[in-house]
Structure 1
Amino acid sequence: MTVSTPMMVTFSIYILGMILIGFIAWRSTKNFDDYILGGRSLGSLVTALSAGASDMSGWLLMGLPGAIFLSGISESWIAIGLTLGAWLNWKIVAGRLRVQTEHHDNALTLPDYFSSRFEDKSKLLRVISALIILVFFTIYCASGIVAGARLFESTFGMDYGTALWVGAVATIIYTFVGGFLAVSWTDTVQASLMIFALILTPVMVIIAVGGLGDSLAVIQAKSVENLDMLKNLNFIAVISLLGWGLGYFGQPHILARFMAADSHHSIHTARRIGMTWMILCLSGAVAVGFFGIAYFQNHPEQAAGVSQNSERVFIELARILFNPWIAGVLLSAILAAVMSTLSCQLLVCSSALTEDLYKNFLRKHASQQELVWVGRAMVLLIAIIAILLASDPNNRVLGLVSYAWAGFGAAFGPVVLFSLLWKRMTRNGALAGMVVGAMTVLVWKQYAWLGLYEIIPGFLFASVVIVLVSLLGREPSTAAQQRFAAAEAEFNTH
């Protein structure tokens, strides 16, 4: 039996398992509400783990360990920023968004919520926010498909074209069939697999090197700068890395998990589970890259793979240190990270096209069954466009992914926060904030002023504009303020 055979078997079992969950979820999908938000039925555990898994893509098991392996512990500032941002998102946004969306015409999507919250009869907010979602997420989906293809290409020696379809088809099937419930249930399994891989792997690396003390000594001997949190970083660089945390307030695929919780009372427990999962996973990813330095310093003859590409550090350590069957399970965690993020992005795009454009502009009285099938058709449409973009992995459009996170964070983040915390916010304030946030990110990225990550000025300028435009305009209607107050009162009940 070759090394690749056990891996092929474990990957196949994993993929078939995810598809099976999709068909089980099909039986629980009765209407469009079920397809898009699972009927708002997610308990604390599924809410927490699906939010975490949909957030952390292949970057968690490849990009972050690779950066740490290459540059040392200083690359962990981004993990600190993400942890702080995620905790604030759970604390400030999650429960309030769950309640406010229900009070505002039972909004199923973020554009739906904006439109109802600000009584936007022109539907301009709905259209602009839906278009922002479609543009950024289609690109995101393409990058996820590329990551999956690269995994199959490197693990099984497939050609890129074949790997592209193998990596994408399973995710498309269970998202198409089961909708939100399938995505959330599979995310829960995938989150469990990711945390298992990221706790077990660094422990085995440390043991292989000879213990924690020996590992640290080897790393320090190679370069004492590997232990320096400020290596090659100035104040602007540290603030930029921490600034990644601001992105959480505006990510539609994460916010959808909060909207789908069975109650805002579930959020408290979900926050504890979600943050524990996230801290353990990020710590494990940092540890894989950090202690991987020690392992490959002691075993230079095995370092060819990571020398060519540092992002392969997790893959190489899994292959070297574990039985092929266990390695197959561990490498499935990378596929889990890719699939969990891709599936929820496909679903958010589908909901934007179906709920916010098709239903509102083409078929206002469409039946629930019709909307479910249109939603499924939109999943296929977005997936095909993403695959076409991904078919050329060097396509320049994929470079836009680096600031799609900033785009969502700056365009939607301040609008979401102010809409949940300030009843005086107006429709024009929301519209101005959304446009200024997105445009600041796009322009700042081109000129790279101060070397500052574009989400920070984008978030700041959008917030200022929201306040100024809202205060200069007429107050929201009495009915809008009463709905806001009623939702806030419900949120504050325990």
Structure 2
Amino acid sequence: MDSALCNQTIMAVNIPGLVAVVVFYMVILIIGVWASRKSKKVEKTCTGSKSEITMVGGRNINVLVGVFTMTATWVGGGYIMGTAEAVYAPTRGVVWALGPPAYLLSFLLAGLFFAKPMRSKRYVTMLDPFQHHYGNTFTAVLLLPALASDILWVACILAALGGTMSMILGLSSALSVVISAAVSITYTFLGGLYSVAYTDIIQLSFIFVSMWLCIPFLMLSPAVADLSQSTQLNQTNSNSWMGKVELADAGIWADEFLLMVLGGLAYQALYQRILSAASSSQAQVTCFAAAGTTFIMGIPSVIIGGVAASADWNETAYGLPPPFERGEAAKILPLALNYLTPTWVSVLGIGSVAAAVMSSMDSVLLSSASMFTQNIYKTTLRKQASERELQWVIRASVLLVGLAGTGLAFGDESVFTFWVLSGDLVYCIIFPQLVCVLHFRHANTYGAICGYVVGMLLRVLSGEQLLRIPALILYPGWTEEDGTVTQHFPFRSLAMLSSLICIIAVSLLLKLGFCHQLIPQSWDLLGVFEEKKEAEVEEVPVPGEDMNNILKTKL
């Protein structure tokens, strides 16, 4: 009986599709290994440290490669499948496909307000400005939400791939997740940013070609009605794929949109590409160009979600009830490819999802490893660490983050839920901190700590279904169904704004209090204002003292 079951399993596997995916993975792995050798050559000729070359590519990534790798990082499995899921879901629709317009605005804001301040000061990671302003301890605390967000992001994109491969190739979802994670971890482990950037070029090109190639076959499927007609016919039907935003859900819509726009500005993966550019102007151009390409890459997912919502699933081998009623809305993209297109087209589709997953996963792995190595290990744990030691720390960090994200990917949660949750912590906690440390010169450690605590408390007390955290704060308009509370108020944005206001208010009040001696100097437990006062004294030239010695002392 075991052998019969084994034969059935083998027959169920899509052998041609499996071979095509294996070939694609081998190509990506070969390119990653080649790029790692290029990285080693750069190490011999570049004046920068080896660890810096691994993390920011020696700051010589050109604009074209930069646009490719930045776009590929955001166009991941969560972006592709989450967008299709949002369009297909009867209670949502196109108006809820927030990814493409949100990331368009996010990249524009990054180019206008964040690229130049970060790149001009030659930072290595997003946490460097915090380390310079607040010291090592607070930076280590700030790493925690950033690391948690990256692990959730890895889980999101791997979960997207597992569902797709199991649907189209007949492979076990767990096996698909493990193999894809192993490939991404391997070439990121070997080559750092160079391997990530050059594999992103191939991956993004494949995603673009294969996704757009699938669209005509989906549109011409006998089971799919004309989209314009289905929109008119479904104007009174909740299944209209165009969707609408009810007044009661306006707060949820605004909250998720702002989370994607502003939360996207607080990822190390973004700044890794900005900081790898040769100049500040080049970093800005990369952001502006990526805004357009990321938006374009989201259009096929919107169309696929609309096609799936307009399809008569009874005319396909899938049958009735439709995917949403079976609880399979999260898998709508692979379902549409599998049942509405020829086999060879669906194989191309799974290839595009696999490419999207690896192009995002490698970036996330390297970003977490870079922050831990640069801002924790190098500056706090082992200040005398050699370059060889730092490179091995980066590799070990890549492996650990990859394993953590892979473990979470085995859950059954919605890809879209993972996608949104991965941005929660960076939006509520890190984004207001980043705005203040870059653009508010009066920000200090006291304000930063208060803002961190306020943002974290408000977010946690608002509850989270995925983590089984009950809502202790019930905002106006909340509803409860089957014991689960849904917050219709934009509670994430409230937490972010509260954190931002808290940082500014506490920083200003304490600055005024200490500088005007309204608060005893002995109460400055962190030595924030005492250090500033000493620094100001050092800047005053002493008669007969060489100014060069003063500058040298400060540096």
State the TM-score, normalized to the length of structure 1.
Answer: 0.84
**In structure 2, what is the equivalent of residue 418 of structure 1?**
436
Using the alignment, how far apart are the partners of 2:489 and 2:147 within structure 1?
A: 26
Q: Which residue of 1 aligns with 2:95?
A: 74
Shift of 1:372: 0.8
- Asked if residue 182 in structure 1 is aligned to residue 191 in structure 2, the reply is no
The 1:271/1:298 distance shift into structure 2, 3 A limit, reads: farther
Correspondent of 1:280 among 285, 296, 320: 296
3-state DSSP class of the match of 2:97? Answer: helix
Q: 1:46 to 1:458 in 2, by over 3 A?
A: farther
Unaligned regions of 5+ residues in structure 1, if any?
Answer: 481-494
Q: Which amino acid aligns with 1:153?
A: S
User: Within the alignment, does 1:314 sit opposite 2:333 as a pair?
Assistant: yes
Give the CA deviation at 1:402. 4.3
Partner of residue 212 from structure 2, selected from 172, 194, 199: 199
Aligned pair 1:173/2:186, yes or no? yes
Counterpart check, 1:293 vs 2:319: no
Aligned counterpart, 1:241: 256
Number of the residue aligned with 2:467:
none
Question: Could you tell me how far 1:204 is from its partner in structure 2?
Answer: 3.8
How far did residue 302 of structure 1 move? Answer: 4.8
- In structure 1, give the amino acid aligned to 2:501: V
Counterpart Cα distance in 2 of 1:363 and 1:84: 40
Q: Which moved more, 1:308-317 or 1:297-306?
A: 297-306
Residues 120, 280 of structure 2: 8 Å contact kept:
yes
Deviations 1:289-335 (A, max 9, x none): 11332343694555567454233332233335555444323211111
1:473 maps onto 2:492 in alignment: no
Number of corresponding residues: 469
The Cα of 1:32 is off from its aligned counterpart by 0.4
The 2-side partners of 1:266 and 1:363 are apart by 34
Secondary structure (helix, strand or coil) at the match of 2:312 reads: helix
TM-score by length of 2: 0.76
Q: Deviations over 1:447-471 (max 9, x none)?
A: 4524234330122011101211221
Of 33, 36, 42 in structure 2, the residue corresponding to residue 26 of structure 1 is 36
Task: Tell me which of the two structures has the higher relative contact order, counting C-alpha pairs closer than 8 angstroms and 6 or more residues apart.
Answer: 1
**Partner residue, 1:217:** 229
> Do 1:408 and 1:438's aligned partners in 2 also have CA atoms closer than 8 Å?
no
SS in structure 2 of the partner of residue 376 of structure 1? helix
CA 1:395–1:334: 2 relative to 1, 3 Å: closer
CA contact (8 A) 1:45 1:273 kept: no
AA in 2 matched with 1:242: F
Percent of residue pairs bearing the same amino acid type? 21
Contact 2:164 2:331 (8 Å CA) reproduced: no
The aligned amino acid for 1:38 is G
Amino acid at match of 2:446: N
Quick one: distance in 1 between partners of 2:440 and 2:89?
A: 44
Partner AA of 2:370 in structure 1: S
Q: Tell me if structure 1 keeps the 8 A contact 2:84–2:333.
A: yes
Task: List alignment gaps of at least 5 residues for structure 2.
Answer: 1-10, 44-49, 464-470, 477-487, 516-528, 537-555
- How far 1:40 sits from its partner (Å)? 1.7
Whether the aligned pair in 2 keeps the contact of 1:33 and 1:39 (CA below 8 Å) is: yes
Q: CA deviation at 1:124?
A: 1.6
What per-residue deviation string (whole Å, max 9, x for no partner) do you get for residues 351-396 of structure 1? 2332222222332121212211221122122223333444x52599
Q: Does the alignment pair 1:149 with 2:162?
A: yes
1:58, CA displacement in angstroms? 1.4
Letter paired with 2:232: Q
- Which residue of structure 1 aligns with residue 23 of structure 2? 13
Matched, 1:266 2:282: yes
Conserved in 1, the CA contact under 8 Å of 2:151 and 2:404? yes
Query: Partners of 1:99 and 1:201 in 2: how far apart?
Result: 43
User: How far apart are the structure 2 equivalents of 1:316 and 1:442?
Assistant: 35
For residue 237 of structure 1, report the CA deviation from its aligned partner.
3.1
Amino acid at match of 2:125: T
CA–CA separation in structure 2 for the residues paired with 1:151 and 1:300: 18
Q: Is the 8 A contact 2:103 2:295 kept in 1?
A: no
Provide the residue aligned with 1:458 in structure 2.
Answer: 495
Query: Paired residue for 1:485?
Result: none
2:271 is aligned with 1:255:
yes
**Which structure 2 residues correspond to residues 33-432 of structure 1 after superposition, within 5 A?**
33-71=52-90, 72-77=93-98, 79-100=100-121, 102=122, 107-116=123-132, 118=133, 120-121=134-135, 123-208=136-221, 214-225=226-237, 226=240, 227-231=242-246, 234-244=249-259, 245-296=261-312, 299=315, 302=318, 306=323, 308=326, 309-320=328-339, 322-390=341-409, 392-394=410-412, 402-432=420-450
Do the aligned partners of 1:199 and 1:280 also contact (CA within 8 Å) in 2?
no
Question: How far did residue 232 of structure 1 move?
Answer: 7.1
Distance 1:439 1:109, change over 3 A: farther
Quick one: which amino acid aligns to residue 275 of structure 1?
A
Distance 2:220 2:155 in 1: 38
Work out whether residues 210 and 349 of structure 2, in 8 Å CA contact, stay in contact via their aligned partners in 1: yes
Give a deviation string over 1:238-267, Cα, whole Å, max 9, x none. 322322222112122222221222211113
**Higher share in helix:** 1
Q: Using the alignment, how far apart are the partners of 1:77 and 1:257 within structure 2?
A: 23
Amino acid in structure 1 at the alignment position of 2:432: P
